[in-house]
Structure 1
Amino acid sequence: MAEPVERPTDGPVTRWRVWKDRMSPVPGNGADDRRFVAGSAVLGLVVAAVAVLAAGPWDTGQRKAEHDRVVAEERTGGVRHVPDPAGPRPAPSAPAVLTALGERSGRTAPVAAGTLDAVLTPLLGAPGLGDVSAASVVDTATGTQVYAHGATTPMTPASTVKIAGAVAALSALGPDHRIPTTVQVSKDARTLTLVGGGDPTLDGAALRALAAGTARALGDSAPGKVRLTYDTSRYSGPALHPISPNENIAPVSALMVDEGRLDGSDHGPAPRTADPAREAARAFAEQLGKAGVSVRSDATSGRAGKGATTVATHLSEPLSALVERALTNSDNDIAEALVRQTALKAGEPASFAGARRAVTARLKALGVPVAGAALVDGSGLNRQDKVTAQLLTSLLTLAAHPDHPELRPVLTGLPVAGFSGTLGERYAATSRGTGLVRAKTGTLTGVNTLAGTAVDPQGRLLAFAFLTSGTTSPGEAEASLDALATALTRGGR
């Protein structure tokens, strides 16, 4: 039996709205510009967090708050839109932060090195954090590392490694990229081929649309029953993750429906099919039948022959939405898809090895310190993954930089403390960190990690990464990590 790995995620996620970060670089250059844009980003995050406190789940809270904020900013005309006085009640810590952001964004002094030492160093010594701990904190407005403890020591990141895969994919492909799934028909119209492009979120509705499109394209030309094949050649290498079989991840395939889940769930551990592509083809055959296209026998693996043409295409949600879902829910299947899409863009095989080379090269090209890193998978389920705390804070700082708006989904996708995803049930309602900490969690047996952003009392956005190993109690480790992040929202006090 495989050892326990990433824990179930919190909060239902039934659908994902597409929200494009509308912030753009401001005129000028230097640290002042970075502080202004980082402050603007934080304002949006805090406003969204405040709305979530009353609104509840992700789909009707955080995403709606962020969407509504963008819409409000884009309104034109002479009417002033006044907020409803009966609107959501903010978190206890929010008013001071909102005031600081509104009055001082871009004008507050950077965090002084050494100001966090007296608080963070003792907290890192908490028994719950195990044998080895590493930490890095960066002022995103200046890019200055303001606290470090073993920050360049490679450690097992668990699911915080998903941040690296998300940055690489967004940088390589852009936030608007969509993953295609297609249907091809042979020259004689006797054979259909369902071609997987690597979209793990393909679902029944998408298959129905593909089947309907195929039926329309065939019209009366289909000669009785057709043969159905399915093509998974876009991916290569072993399909099974080293921890497999495991309910945290399906066999990695270029063709699957609902991430290979067999229980109707959309996040967290679940029983998985052993052959996602075959199951997808079987489900597609059923939809073809309902659309009036008869399929003879069971579908078989194969590639379309020469002269075949594409008759139907389904595009995934934009990469920005996939990244957000992967980070919020700690979705291992999407995370593995993201790094394979990066590999394909780089001309590498879409395999574990090819993805490792592509992601590492992409991060190196971005100027991120990759020394000592071993990015052996996209999900973080492999214990041989190694990153430094400095690498993680460098990625988060890059995502906050005004020169990289394409990376903003890395920040907007981070779970919000006390509100969403894997932080939905962490941080008490009265905690200072509630709503002000957004972070990716990581959990393997004996390994607990947390990496994300926190807003300090002056409205500055701090990127942090805390990595531990040798933990014996997940609950104690998580409480200690949350205390470290919360300390940042108090300015080290």
Structure 2
Amino acid sequence: MSNSSSAGHAGSRHRGRGTIRPALRRAAVIAVTAPVAGTILFGTSAFAAPATLDPAEQSIADNLDVRVQDTRLGPTLSGVVIDADSGGLVWGHDATTALMPASNTKLATSTAALTILGPDHRFTTKAVYGDGVVTLVGGGDRTLTSADLDTMARTVAAVLKEAGPSSVQVRVDDSLFPAPTLATGWNDGYYPDSVAPVRALVVDGRHVTDTSVDAGRTFAKLLARRGVTVTGGVARATAGTGAALLAQHQSGALSDIVEHMLKVSDNDIAETLLRATALAAGRPATFEDGTAVVRQVLGQYGVSLTGFEIHDGSGLSRANRIPARTIADILDLADTAANGPTLGYIVDGLPVAGEAGSTLGPEWGRFDTADSRCAVGRVSAKTGTLTGAIALSGLTKAGDGRWKIFSFIENDSAADPAATKDALDGLAATVNGCWA
């Protein structure tokens, strides 16, 4: 998807080019490729209390008042619905209560990454040579594949054959990121299934303890297949400043990476983006500095940070807390035409109800009940799932023909998680109006 088509799609589908609210005027002047300035502009929420609700909105509000009492949703829910054009509040239920948001955190991470790095940013993996050593240098590309490494190996082999060294050793340099640590709210049980230790080098998205050495071993095998004699094992080393560049691979555009990350809720990509964003903002590539930059970016856009607390980029942290109002504010920001060229990819990356291959696909049992099936193809929303926390936040065109932004975050339900997800899907169908 090209940058121009994505931005136009998001803007024209969800919001016309009307008056930009004050908080969003600030958003338009943030430089997308420069580090965030030290001063944070704390704006007020974009939400405004409505004078009156139209009949379709009143129906949404009345039905949600009843359906939010569903026992499958448990005792703790933060929810909100706003009109995308006016910013008017349609419905709220403990909307400013900060709850564990699970993967809805990725919406904040995406906003910061697209703003600081820019949607055209690409991650570069390099192969350099010096003193008989070929070093694979990681650039934070979580989408790097064996096929990409094979293309690099072909180029490296051709250069080495011309230069004439009889054999080489292979090393990996992943020093772009510091050694992996656990985020606040993580436990080592997350490794390696839920997320791999965050390193700057990985191939085929493999979940192994040392993704860098694993990538180096793959590269060494590919070099050997191309006729290069590789001696010894693969180890970690920092490439010398005088090493010669032999080959490099660039990832796809960040805009495409963000869309994919949101569609499938990829934890590894989210954590890599958090570190890359911190580096681009002139800070160390750590959880603490990455999340600090996220806060700065959201604050400068005018997003309410009351109750906002995150400790990672993926939402795996059980210490994260975000109110539904803030999640809706982030979506409102991304859905505004003025921000389309930078943030519209967030809206385009939202899973669509019934979309196979996404976290709202039929393989996950989403939008398949009598109450919610009517909303298939009509709701775009980011999912979030942790033990004790399920969220669903997105957009849908309601019965009045106007787009609504909604966020529902549930914590502490004793119901089966599949039943809770069904109940949340029903709330989204209620906002759409197809479940009247």
TM above 0.5, one fold?
yes
Give the superposition deviation at 1:208: 0.4
| Partner deviation per Cα, 1:443-481 (whole Å, 9 max, x = no partner) | 111211111111112331111100111112212211111
Q: In the alignment, is the contact (CA less than 8 A) between 2:7 and 2:345 conserved in 1? A: no
Q: Which residue of 1 aligns with 2:64?
A: 120
Q: Please say if 1:198 is aligned against 2:183.
A: no
Q: Is the alpha carbon distance of 1:368 and 1:344 closer, same or farther for their aligned partners in structure 2, counting shifts above 3 Å?
A: same
Q: Is the alpha carbon distance of 1:391 and 1:289 closer, same or farther for their aligned partners in structure 2, counting shifts above 3 Å?
A: same
Q: How does 1:134-283 map to 2 (within 5 A)?
A: 134-186=78-130, 188=131, 190-240=132-182, 242-243=186-187, 244-260=190-206, 272-283=207-218
Give, as a single letter, the amino acid of the residue that structure 2 aligns with 1:143. Answer: G
Q: Which residue of 2 aligns with 1:92?
A: none
Q: Which residue of 1 aligns with 2:417?
A: 474
Give the superposition deviation at 1:491: 7.8
Q: Please say if 1:427 is aligned against 2:367.
A: yes
Q: Please say if 1:33 is aligned against 2:17.
A: yes
Give, as a single letter, the amino acid of the residue that structure 2 aligns with 1:424. Answer: G
SS in 1 for 2:374: coil
Distance 1:482 1:35 in 2: 32
Give the superposition deviation at 1:125: 1.1
Distance 1:480 1:386 in 2: 22
Q: In the alignment, is the contact (CA less than 8 A) between 1:34 and 1:401 conserved in 2? A: no
Give, as a single letter, the amino acid of the residue that structure 1 aligns with 2:169. Answer: R
Q: Which residue of 2 aligns with 1:489?
A: 432
Give, as a single letter, the amino acid of the residue that structure 2 aligns with 1:338. Answer: L
Q: Which residue of 2 aligns with 1:412?
A: 348
Distance 1:234 1:134 in 2: 38
Q: Which residue of 2 aligns with 1:368?
A: 303
Q: In the alignment, is the contact (CA less than 8 A) between 1:448 and 1:477 conserved in 2? A: yes
SS in 1 for 2:295: helix
Distance 2:84 2:158 in 1: 53
Question: In terms of mean alpha carbon deviation, does 348-357 or 214-223 score higher?
Answer: 214-223
Give, as a single letter, the amino acid of the residue that structure 1 aligns with 2:401. Answer: G
Give, as a single letter, the amino acid of the residue that structure 1 aligns with 2:424. Answer: L
The one of 315, 319, 324 aligned to 1:380: 315
Q: Which residue of 2 aligns with 1:68?
A: none
Give, as a single letter, the amino acid of the residue that structure 2 aligns with 1:456. Answer: A
Q: In the alignment, is the contact (CA less than 8 A) between 1:208 and 1:284 conserved in 2? A: yes
Q: How does 1:320-469 map to 2 (within 5 A)?
A: 320-405=255-340, 406-420=342-356, 421-425=358-362, 426-428=366-368, 431-469=373-411
Give, as a single letter, the amino acid of the residue that structure 1 aligns with 2:392. Answer: L
| Partner deviation per Cα, 1:332-375 (whole Å, 9 max, x = no partner) | 11111121121111111112112111111111122111222112
**% identity of equivalent residues:** 36
The one of 206, 219, 235 aligned to 1:284: 219
Question: In terms of mean alpha carbon deviation, does 216-225 or 441-450 score higher?
Answer: 216-225
Distance 1:200 1:347 in 2: 21
Give the superposition deviation at 1:144: 2.5
Q: In the alignment, is the contact (CA less than 8 A) between 2:11 and 2:344 conserved in 1? A: no
- The CA RMSD over aligned residues, in Å, is 2.5
Give the superposition deviation at 1:35: 9.0
Distance 2:172 2:53 in 1: 56
What runs of 5+ residues in structure 2 fail to find an aligned partner? 21-50
Distance 1:131 1:372 in 2: 19
Q: How does 1:283-302 map to 2 (within 5 A)?
A: 283-302=218-237
SS in 2 for 1:371: coil
Distance 1:462 1:35 in 2: 17
Equivalences, count: 389
Distance 2:182 2:161 in 1: 40
Distance 2:88 2:179 in 1: 40
Distance 2:179 2:350 in 1: 30
Distance 1:213 1:318 in 2: 23
Q: Is the alpha carbon distance of 1:482 and 1:333 closer, same or farther for their aligned partners in structure 2, counting shifts above 3 Å?
A: same
Q: Please say if 1:23 is aligned against 2:8.
A: yes
Distance 2:261 2:7 in 1: 21
| Partner deviation per Cα, 1:97-136 (whole Å, 9 max, x = no partner) | xxxxxxxxxxxx9965766331112111110111211111
Q: In the alignment, is the contact (CA less than 8 A) between 2:375 and 2:432 conserved in 1? A: yes
SS in 2 for 1:408: helix
Give the superposition deviation at 1:219: 4.0
Q: In the alignment, is the contact (CA less than 8 A) between 1:228 and 1:298 conserved in 2? A: yes
Q: Is the alpha carbon distance of 1:373 and 1:282 closer, same or farther for their aligned partners in structure 2, counting shifts above 3 Å?
A: same
| Partner deviation per Cα, 1:290-318 (whole Å, 9 max, x = no partner) | 22322210121111113123221111121
Distance 1:310 1:141 in 2: 51
| Partner deviation per Cα, 1:7-65 (whole Å, 9 max, x = no partner) | xxxxxxxxxx66741518999xxx962499xxxxxxxxxxxxxxxxxxxxxxxxxxxxx
SS in 1 for 2:304: coil
